Amino acid sequence: MNFILFNMWEKTWGYKEGLAVCGGLFLTGILLQITIGKINWDLLAFPVNIILLVLYICAILLIHVNARRVYLFRWMSGYPATVTAMIGVVIITMVMGLTRQVQPRQTVDGFEAFLGFSQMLSAWPFVLIFTWLITILGLTLPKRILPFQWKNIPFLLNHLGLFIAVVGAVLGSADMQRLKMTTTVGKAEWRAYDNNQQLLELPLAIELNDFTIDEYPPKLMLIDNETGKALPEGKPVNLLLEDHLEQGKLGDWMIEVKQQIPEAASYSTTDTVKFVTFHSIGSTYAAYVRVTHIQTGEQKEGWISCGSFWVPYKALRLNDKVSLIMPEREPRRFASDITLYTQSGTKLAATIEVNKPLKIEGWKIYQLSYDETKGKWSDISIFELVRDPWLPIVYVGIYMLIAGAIWMFITASKRKEDSI
């Protein structure tokens, strides 16, 4: 390799050479993929990632100090290498974006495993080209950091910020724990499953006091009796049954709401189904409606309900073609009321909601799921517990990038005037 480089010493490398390097990395990646298979990121777990980080930074510094002697190294921190490396990453990521991705832990075989494109994040060609770009990014940094100069700050916010965020995210990925914990009302739980379905014991316990789902008012829709598709096809309409709604229009039909029962149960009479108020587990929403076709005057009336795990749903057939239905209500808020105990003796009451995780001793606890068959009557709540020790490093990078982006916006129109 060195021999070739010295031969090319006098030559100026440009975009063609840069693209050739990316192509070479791609082919090398394919060969690695075929011979040793996909990358197992779990191998990077602490302390391997720390060792790799130190080695990587040393490698970048070594390349940097030898840049005067080795043409390749000098070329690596120039524009042609940068631009072509980015083009390489764009292309390989486009392949990823056009290929259906499967979970990294899933086993794939045949042609899929051969190239590894369906698990791109673990595929050698992707990782090599990506590493190439990040290394080139890293190489731009030393001369901007030392000697320190104020005018290099915007450059460093963008470039060092991206470097820190990406390197932190990649090396930290194996140390990140994402666990699933299923809790039942009234019981304390301290065990959770990891991604490999291993049951782990945790230094904290969650006692579920209550799980609630607030729902939006139900809505009414029209469907085609044969296809079951919402009407008008392509741009379906719906009518939200808000409190005290008495009349509304849905397509060509006028809907009059005669009675609404927010908590109802049904019972069958000899010829039909009726709904009555029922305040207990399994109750559902029901409404008695009269529906009139605006043009023909055709009229139907009856009960309609979205049903629950206990009460069957009830549609209203308007004519041979169209039925009126009440789809399942959409959730407005999921919330778990919990008491949390930690090994260090903390006991605290908290509410965990979607978008409002609970942060405690390095863990973030998220509302993940519930017993979907029972819906709002679920007596279990499923949490995701996430621990990511490298998160602060990634966040430093992200905040630097945010500052860099704001700086870029402020100086966008002044930039060129200075340089000309």
Partner 1 sequence: MNWDHFLLFALISLFFWGSGAIAAWKSNKPYRVYLWTGLGLMTFFAFIAGLWISLERPPMRTMGETRLWYSFFLPLAGLITYSRWKYKWILSFSFILSAVFICINIFKPEIHNKTLMPALQSPWFAPHVIVYMFAYAMLGAAVVMAIYLLWLKKKTIDHKEMELSDNLVYVGLSFMTLGMLFGALWAKEAWGHYWSWDPKETWAAITWIAYLVYIHFRLHQPYVYKKALVIMLVSFISLQMCWYGINYLPSAQGVSVHTYNMK
Beta-strand runs (E) in 269-420: 273-277, 284-293, 299-305, 316-317, 322-325, 331-342, 347-353, 358-360, 363-370, 380-387
Q: Give 64 or 329: the residue with its C-beta nearer to partner 1.
A: 329
Given candidates 116, 251, 307, 404, which one binds partner 1 under the rule CB under 8 A? 404
Of 80 and 142, the one with the shorter C-beta distance to partner 1 is 80
Q: Is 5 a residue that touches partner 1 (CB under 8 A)?
A: no
Is the distance from CB of 74 to CB of 68 less than 8 angstroms? yes
Q: Measure the CA–CA gap between 248 and 260, rounded to whole angstroms.
A: 14
Of 236, 312, 362, 389, the one binding partner 1 by CB under 8 A:
236
Among 20, 31, 50, 405, binds partner 1 (CB under 8 A): 405
**Quick check: 18 binds partner 1 (CB under 8 A)?**
no
Smallest separation (angstroms) from partner 1 to the CB of 88: 10
Q: Is 93 in the site for partner 1 (CB under 8 A)?
A: yes
Q: How far apart are CA 150 and CA 391, in angstroms?
A: 28
> Does residue 131 belong to the site contacting partner 1 (CB under 8 A)?
no
Among the candidate windows 269-277, 288-296, 369-377, 403-411, which touches partner 1 by CB under 8 A?
403-411
227 binds partner 1 (CB under 8 A): no
How far is residue 384 CA from its own chain's centroid? 13
Binding part of the chain for partner 1, among 5-13, 182-190, 266-274, 386-394 by CB under 8 A, reads: 386-394
Among the listed residues 19, 121, 245, 273, the single contact to partner 1 using CB under 8 A: 121
**Helix H or strand E encompassing 75:** helix 71-76
CB 344 within 8 A of CB 313: no
Residue 276 within binding range of partner 1, rule CB under 8 A: no
Distance CA 76, CA 142 (A): 13
Q: How far is the CB of 372 from partner 1 (least distance, A)?
A: 14
* Contact status: 79 vs partner 1 (CB under 8 A): yes
CB nearer to partner 1: give 126 or 275: 126
| Residue 355 contacts partner 1 per CB under 8 A | yes
Q: Angle at Cα 160 formed by Cα 157 and Cα 165, nearest 5°?
A: 105
Dist. CA 103–CA 97, nearest whole Å: 14
- Cβ distance 177 to 194 under 8 Å? yes
Among residues 377, 375, 355, the alpha carbon closest in space to that of 364 is found at: 355
For residue 353, state whether it binds partner 1 (rule: CB under 8 A).
yes
140 closest CA partner among 128, 124, 152, 125: 152
CB 84 within 8 A of CB 19: yes
Whose Cβ is closer to partner 1: residue 282's or residue 327's? 327
The dihedral over CA atoms of 346, 347, 348, 351, expressed in degrees to the nearest 10, equals: 110
Tell me: does residue 235 bind partner 1 (CB under 8 A). Answer: yes
Q: Are 381 and 186 in contact (CB under 8 A)?
A: no
Residue for token pair 């005037």: 417
CB of 91 to partner 1, least distance (A): 9
Residues numbered 160 to 199 that lie near partner 1 (CB under 8 A) are 169, 176, 178
Binding site for partner 1 (CB under 8 A): 79-80, 82-83, 86-87, 89-90, 93-94, 96-101, 121, 169, 176, 178, 216, 219, 235-238, 240, 330-334, 353-357, 364, 366, 384, 386, 388, 391, 394, 398, 401-402, 404-406, 408-409, 412-413, 415-416
